[in-house]
Structure 1
Amino acid sequence: MKTMKDQSKLLAAILVGAAAGAVLGLLFAPGSGEETRGSLAGYADELAGKAKEGARTVSDQIKEYGNNVYEKAKSKFGSAAEDMYNYRDGVSDEIRSEGNNLANEAQDQVNRAKSKVKGAADDVNDSIQEA
């Protein structure tokens, strides 16, 4: 696929070639003025058609390039957003897990403290009953 710069160069070359051909045609025309004008009109119409086609081709290529850039940007943005959500979900799970671990550890500490208090209370009760 030709780049836009190559297309522009080609279009410019066609236009320059057409102009040079028109000048040479006028200089070396064997026919009458009316015939030459008719030939030039036909040549100008042909040249205009080629220019329109070249412009249409460049326009189509610009549209295609724009669509490709848009789709790539959309895809990259979508991937980045999905990565962000996955990271967020992973961090949330880690925080939830760590919170659960801390809650379990705190409950274990409370249970040990209760056990020590109960043991101390039992020892005090046994001492009172022995006395």
Structure 2
Amino acid sequence: MDWKLELVPIPVADVDRAKAFYADQVGFTVDHDHNINDELRIVQLTPPGSGCSILLSKGVIDTKPGSIQNVHIVVNDIETARASLIERGVDVSEVKKMSPEDGGTFVFFSDPDGNSWAVQEMRNRV
């Protein structure tokens, strides 16, 4: 039996601001944006090529905005990924080569609420 991670909730203070950041700047695809009522909204976005999405919401989770740290995204070319983020206006770190022979090459960025992301190069997995 396969167990597949499909959705990670990301706590944000302003769903519209976060949606714009993840869609327009980071480049995630908007899968759903549904207002159920004034207290409940669900926005689902997916990184290109990923089987797992993120959830931005109002009225779904009670987690403090900005409290998610170091969610990993894996790419096969860290330089291209970093250049794409910079081109879209994301404040992204320099490339950090911690252990490049075994997948230890990273860049880091945060969303407007402070949720942080690690983009990891793993050429043999993607």
TM-score w.r.t. length of structure 1: 0.18
Structure in which a larger fraction of residues adopt strand:
2
Return the index of the structure with the highest Cα Rg. 1
When the two structures are superposed, what TM-score results if normalisation uses the length of structure 2? 0.19
More helix by share: 1
